[in-house]
């Protein structure tokens, strides 16, 4: 079962990467400027036990997005991966992964990320204010990951 799950995770992220590549090709052929934002994870920056396939797929997504950023840079079409840490969503309860009863007190900022935290960095990255940001894997992890 683990290998089936691992294969599905890797396949899903490869498909997302191929979709981004197809969008980029269309943008280039039609001379459309825009931004590509891929959602990765802090698991794409640091391996975690029992999450090998997930971590591998997210590491791959970061590398893919950074390579795409270089390909699109001259066309002024930034490409950036976002790397959220644990976010305070119902999914944590479903997965049984709520680390400390829900407060995120072990994080440097003392709480888990909210969906609004992730939305705000996404909004910034698609704004004109982020025109010079490309390829940077942006952490939204409350200081838990610093690279």
Structure confidence at residue 26 (pLDDT): 76
Residue 39 β-bridge partners: 82
Q: Which of 37-51, 79-93, 106-120 has the lowest mean pLDDT?
A: 79-93
Total domains in the chain come to 1
Let me know if residue 40 belongs to a domain.
Answer: yes
Let me know if residue 17 belongs to a domain.
Answer: yes
Tens of pLDDT along 50-87?
888 889 889 998 998 999 899 888 888 888 999 998 88
Mean pLDDT computed over 114-130:
95
| 54 is a catalytic site residue | yes
Instruction: Tell me, yes or no, if the pTM score tops 0.85.
Output: no
Let me know if residue 47 belongs to a domain.
Answer: yes
Q: Are 36 and 24 within 8 A, CB to CB?
A: yes
Let me know if residue 13 belongs to a domain.
Answer: yes
Q: Which of 43, 54, 65, 104 is catalytic?
A: 54
pLDDT, the chain, mean: 81
Let me know if residue 145 belongs to a domain.
Answer: no
CATH number at residue 26: 3.40.50.720
CA distance 82 to 11: 20
Tens of pLDDT along 23-46?
777 777 777 777 889 999 999 999
Let me know if residue 146 belongs to a domain.
Answer: no
């Amino acid at each position: 079962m683990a290998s089936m799950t691992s294969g599905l995770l890797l396949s899903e992220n490869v498909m997302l990467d191929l979709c981004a590549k197809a969008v980029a090709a269309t943008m280039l052929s039609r001379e459309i400027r825009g931004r590509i934002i891929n959602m990765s994870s802090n698991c794409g920056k640091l391996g975690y036990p029992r999450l090998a396939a997930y971590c591998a797929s997210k590491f791959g997504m970061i590398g893919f997005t950074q390579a795409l950023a270089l390909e699109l840079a001259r066309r002024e079409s930034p490409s950036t991966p976002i790397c959220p840490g644990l976010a305070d969503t119902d999914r944590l309860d479903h997965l049984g992964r709520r680390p400390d009863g829900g407060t995120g007190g072990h994080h440097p900022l003392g709480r888990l990320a909210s969906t609004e935290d992730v939305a705000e960095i996404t909004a910034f990255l698609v704004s004109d204010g982020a025109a010079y940001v490309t390829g940077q894997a942006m952490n939204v992890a409350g200081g838990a990951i610093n690279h």
